[in-house]
Structure 1
Amino acid sequence: MAKSQTQNILSLIEAEHRQVEKLFAEAEKADSNQLYDCFNQIYKALTLHARTEELVFYPAMREYEETEQYIEEAEAEHEEAKILLEEIKALKPTDSEFKTKIKELKKAVQHHVGEEEEEIFPAISDCMSDRQLSELGQEFEKTKAQLEEEVKAAMIT
């Protein structure tokens, strides 16, 4: 995303949410040969997204009483997604459970995205200035770039 102005963290997270939704839609239409590639893209996107949120967004939320209340549930939802990702990673796309687990993961992610966008984003917008949100956006992009190699390495099984 080469923009002259840094996007605020909420815009970045929202864009990633839309990207993951597209990946899930592709996975639903994929045949067995394409399914593993789709899953790998979902795995990478969700793992990077969750780790970056945990390192950048959640610590910022802890600074405000109004947003701190959401962290525990959000972290639990991230943990649920991580467990599902690892369970799917251990399966073959031809296993009957593979598509079922991806549907389960999609449902969990949709729930998490809904809560973030409908509850957390408005709360954090009330607490932080545009400048703070943009600075967090910069930090989010930088941290995500640093994590990318580590996540790619974890994908190779």
Structure 2
Amino acid sequence: MPDTDTPVTPGPEEDVVDLLLAQHAQIEQLFLLVVGGTGDTRRDAFDDLVKLLAAHETAEEEVVHPLARTLPGGGGDAMVDDRLDEERQAKETLQTLIKGGVDADGFDTGIVLLRDAVLTHARYEERYEFPQLRQHVPVDRLRSLATAVRAAEASAPTRPHPSAQSAKGNLAAGPVLAVIDRVRDAVRKPADS
């Protein structure tokens, strides 16, 4: 079984695209554990999935998407707007699943629909956004962006917040939401044990 608790750590030669691709693979593994798991294994995998998705999308919204908007060719805005719409829909679905919990009626259907939407979103990034980044952004900048993504993830909320879905929104509300989420997580952890 993969170690899903250990975050993907960028190496000195890893760039932001490598990091995000590794996280996409980790997200896919977590979905497998949630869909195929039961009891505490399922619950723990879902909690890990929620935290990774929240941090991953926040970092993309703060670091990657703003850069993608500036890429030559004029398609950056439409490409990013499509990805943001997909992310907003996924966050809304994820919020519903969180509220009900893994034992709720409809969770099985909801998690499969979320998985399909998230993995389709990831494939669009991999097919359209990431190649554009690699083509137009210098390698050293892509490497430094891996560090920027890590920093954004460290201060990101641990739950989805569809209303904070832009670089400005995340930077303004993200730290406050992150504190609230982390307090909520700390309070729930002993109760769940």
Normalised to the residue count of structure 2, the TM-score between the two structures is: 0.74
1:45-97 deviations in whole A, cap 9, x for unaligned?
A: 10110011000101111212343331100000110110011000111322221
**Distance change >3 Å, CA 2–CA 113, structure 1 → 2:** closer
Secondary structure at the residue paired with 1:137? helix
Match of 1:46 in 2: 53
**2:69/2:76 contact within 8 Å kept:** yes
Aligned-CA RMSD value: 1.9
Q: Which residue of 1 aligns with 2:153?
A: 144
Partner of 1:35: 42
Q: Which structure 2 residue ranges, 5 or more long, are not aligned?
A: 1-8, 159-177, 189-193
Superposed counterparts of 1:68-147, under 5 Å:
68-147=77-156
Q: Are the counterparts in 2 of residues 84 and 101 from structure 1 also a CA contact under 8 Å? A: yes
Pick the structure with more helix per residue. Answer: 1
Deviations 1:75-130 (A, max 9, x none): 00110110011000111322221111110110001110110111111122111111
Q: Which residue of 2 aligns with 1:24?
A: 31
Aligned to 2:20: 13
* TM-superposed deviation, 1:6: 5.1
Where in structure 1 are there 5+ consecutive unaligned residues? none
Greater RCO (Cα-Cα under 8 Å, separation 6 or more): 1
Is the Cα contact below 8 Å between 2:63 and 2:148 reproduced in 1? yes
User: Structure 2: how far apart are the matches of 1:2 and 1:114?
Assistant: 21
Change in Cα spacing, 1:72 to 1:132, as seen in structure 2 (3 Å) is same
**Aligned in 2, Cα 1:9/1:2: closer, same or farther, shift over 3 Å?**
closer
Distance change in 2, residues 1:142/1:92 (3 Å): closer
Whole-angstrom CA distance in 1 between matches of 2:52 and 2:43: 14
TM-score, normalised with respect to structure 1: 0.89
Structure 2 SS opposite 1:26? helix
**Residues 58 and 152 of structure 2 are in contact (CA less than 8 Å); yes or no, is this contact kept in structure 1?**
no
